[in-house]
């Protein structure tokens, strides 16, 4: 069965900051790339992951995991033989994830979401079942958002979905060129309130 949250966590060694401290430090160092000062709320996480069919998920990819706010709930829900690949451009966050999450199903990768196809290919996968994005699409450098959306659509299997949470509804502009079926919801219990989208690949 799915690994319990305690099994997926490592007791924080002395000198390793709490997730909230680490996230805030990351924001101070790279405000544009991190795009937020507070990690996602539990309510947002539950709503975003609600539609995932965990029994048919062998590869889950997360873009912009930060300090792992979503990684732990994903690992709690994932099957024992599934894999979570978390991709972040911030080397400090990747080191933090490696130091604080111990789970054989988990791989933290320093890189860009735009390279998702290469990153999963190097790890033996053709396609991802689900891809989750916490990226600040509206503040990414010009051209990066459209490139990530196109690469994501290509990397998903038919029937899979792109899960996106964002503070601005403008993120939908990146999805519309690729996804015909897009579900939407709001989560007010988050700082700031978030727009949630699920783009289903036919």
Positions touching ligand SAM (CB under 6 A) are: 33-36, 39-40, 63-66, 69-70, 87-90, 93, 112-113, 134-136, 140, 144
Q: Do the beta carbons of residue 48 and residue 197 sit within 8 Å? A: no
From the list 42, 40, 44, the residue with the least C-alpha distance to 20 is 40
Cβ at position 134, least distance to ligand SAM in Å: 3
**Sequence-ordered list of residues with C-beta below 8 angstroms from that of 142, at least 6 positions apart, any chain:** none
Q: How far is the CB of 82 from ligand SAM (least distance, A)?
A: 19
Determine the Cα–Cα distance for residues 134 and 66; give it in Å rounded to an integer.
9
CB of 116 to ligand SAM, least distance (A): 9
Measured from the CB atom, the residue of 18 and 56 that comes closer to ligand SAM is 18
Rounded to whole angstroms, the maximal C-alpha distance in the chain is 49
In the complex with ligand SAM, the residue whose CB is nearer, 38 or 102, is 38
Give the residue with the Cβ less far from ligand SAM, 55 or 64: 64
Which is closer to ligand SAM, CB of 167 or CB of 200? 167
Burial 55-93 (b: 16+ CB within 10 A, else e): eebebbbbbbbbbbbbbbbbbbebeeebbbbbbbbbeeb
CB of 14 to ligand SAM, least distance (A): 24
CB of 140 to ligand SAM, least distance (A): 6
Residue with Cβ nearer ligand SAM (70 or 125): 70
Strands 156-166 and 194-200: antiparallel
């Amino acid at each position: 069965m799915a690994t319990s949250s305690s099994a997926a966590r490592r007791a924080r060694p002395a000198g390793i900051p709490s997730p909230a401290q680490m996230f805030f430090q990351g924001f101070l160092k790279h405000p544009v790339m991190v795009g937020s000062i507070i990690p996602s709320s539990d309510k947002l996480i539950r709503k975003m992951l609600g539609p995932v069919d965990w029994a048919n998920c062998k590869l889950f990819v997360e873009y912009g995991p930060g300090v792992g706010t979503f990684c732990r709930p994903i690992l709690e829900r994932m099957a024992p033989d599934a894999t979570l690949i978390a991709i972040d451009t911030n080397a400090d966050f990747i080191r933090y994830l490696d130091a604080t999450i111990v789970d054989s199903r988990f791989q933290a990768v320093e890189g860009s979401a735009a390279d998702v196809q290469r990153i999963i290919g190097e790890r033996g996968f053709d396609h991802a079942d689900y891809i989750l994005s916490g990226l600040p699409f509206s503040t990414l450098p010009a051209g990066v958002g459209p490139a990530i959306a196109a690469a994501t659509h290509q990397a998903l299997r038919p029937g899979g979905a792109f899960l996106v949470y964002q503070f601005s509804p403008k993120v939908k502009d990146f999805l519309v060129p690729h996804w015909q079926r897009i579900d939407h919801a709001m989560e007010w219990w988050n700082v700031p309130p978030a727009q949630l989208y699920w783009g289903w690949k036919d």
